[in-house]
């Protein structure tokens, strides 16, 4: 076991959120990706998009604020930010398919060293593609937030996805509980490791060879 401390889901989301540029429109998927919307760094104006028809997702609502007509992913009640808008599913995907969204954050079962993504189907289950295939094809940048390995400890960052693809060569950056990895034409570049983790430990949990960035650093949540 490593002496390092893994990031929590919230911390992974927080680290990913630090990459958001001022003025960007960011689509978020269910689960950990959604949490990214809750950690926008101060001074950054970003508009969060969810596929079922909202642009301008704010904080999660509680108590009196809860509106049953304003739900996010997984029944989570939402508060819209100033400037938000709601619209049909067709419009929501026109934004995605039309290339109007700057960044999307999704989860993954597997990511390959070339940036292929598998996140829609596992053997023995009916498919659950949702909006993933629409999103990955036309968004300008695609981030993945996930645990570095499966519950059984198997690498999720692989040479070649064994599961059916959601899209080929679509992922730009991967944020896990132990690392930040960029997908580059030369291969996967390990840019950051969780506090206390060594590059070797990250490599051991990763199938393809990682290129260690000359500027390798520890993940920090201070911006």
Partner 1 sequence: MNKVFASSREAVADVFDGATVLFGGWGLAGNPTNLIRALYEKGVKDIVAISNNPGTIHNGIPYDLATLIREKRVRKFIGSYHGWNQDFIEQWRTGEIEFECSPQGTMAERIRAAGAGIGGFYTTTGADTDLAAGKERKIINGVEHVLELPLPADFAFVKAKRGDPWGNLIYRYTAQNFNSIMAMAGKVTIAEVEELVELESLDVNHIHTPGIYVQRIVKGEEYERRV
**Active-site annotation holder among 9, 19, 24, 51:** 51
What end-to-end distance do the CA atoms of the chain give, in Å? 29
Q: Are 73 and 185 in contact (CB under 8 A)?
A: no
Which of 17, 96, 188, 219 touches partner 1 (CB under 8 A)? 96
Residue 196 backbone class (left: φ over 0; alpha: ψ -120 to 50; beta: rest): left
Q: Which two tokens stand for residue 92?
A: 């929501």
Residue whose CB is less far from partner 1, 101 or 105: 101
Residue in 221, 214, 160 with CA at minimum distance from that of residue 191: 214
Which of 69, 123, 151, 222 forms a contact with partner 1 (CB under 8 A)?
69
**Choices 106-114, 123-131, 154-162, 188-196 (CB under 8 A): range interacting with partner 1:** 123-131
Residue 127's CB is within 10 A of a number of other CB atoms, namely 9
According to the binding rule CB under 8 A, does residue 131 interact with partner 1? yes
Examine the residue annotation and report whether 192 is marked as an active-site residue of this protein. Answer: no
Q: Is 196 near partner 1 (CB under 8 A)?
A: no
Q: Is 166 in the site for partner 1 (CB under 8 A)?
A: yes
**How far from chain centre, in Å, is Cα 181?**
12
204 binds partner 1 (CB under 8 A): no
Q: Closest Cα to residue 48, out of 90, 10, 84, 12?
A: 84
CB of 186 to partner 1, least distance (A): 23
Residues that bind partner 1 (CB under 8 A): 22-23, 25, 45, 47, 49-56, 66-75, 77-78, 80, 82-101, 121, 124-135, 137-138, 164-168
The residues annotated with a catalytic role in the active site are: 51
């Amino acid at each position: 076991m490593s002496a390092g401390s893994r990031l929590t889901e919230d911390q992974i989301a927080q680290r990913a959120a630090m990459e958001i540029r001022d003025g960007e429109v960011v689509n978020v998927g269910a689960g950990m990706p959604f949490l990214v919307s809750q950690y926008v760094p101060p001074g950054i104006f970003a508009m969060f998009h969810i596929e079922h028809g909202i642009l301008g997702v704010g904080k999660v609502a509680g108590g009196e604020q809860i509106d049953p007509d304003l739900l996010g992913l997984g029944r989570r009640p939402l508060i819209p930010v100033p400037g938000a808008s709601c619209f049909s599913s067709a419009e929501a995907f026109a934004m995605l398919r039309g290339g109007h969204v700057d960044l999307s954050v999704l989860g993954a079962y597997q990511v390959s060293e070339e940036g292929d993504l598998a996140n829609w189907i596992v053997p023995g289950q009916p498919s659950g593609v949702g909006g993933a295939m629409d999103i990955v094809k036309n968004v300008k940048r695609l981030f993945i937030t996930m645990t570095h390995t499966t519950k059984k400890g198997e690498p999720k960052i692989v040479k070649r996805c064994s599961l059916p693809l959601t899209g080929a060569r679509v992922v730009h950056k991967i944020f896990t509980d132990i690392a930040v990895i960029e997908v580059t034409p030369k291969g996967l570049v390990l840019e950051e490791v969780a506090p206390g983790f060594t590059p070797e430990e990250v490599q051991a949990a990763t199938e393809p060879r990682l290129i260690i960035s000359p500027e390798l650093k520890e993940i920090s949540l201070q911006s």
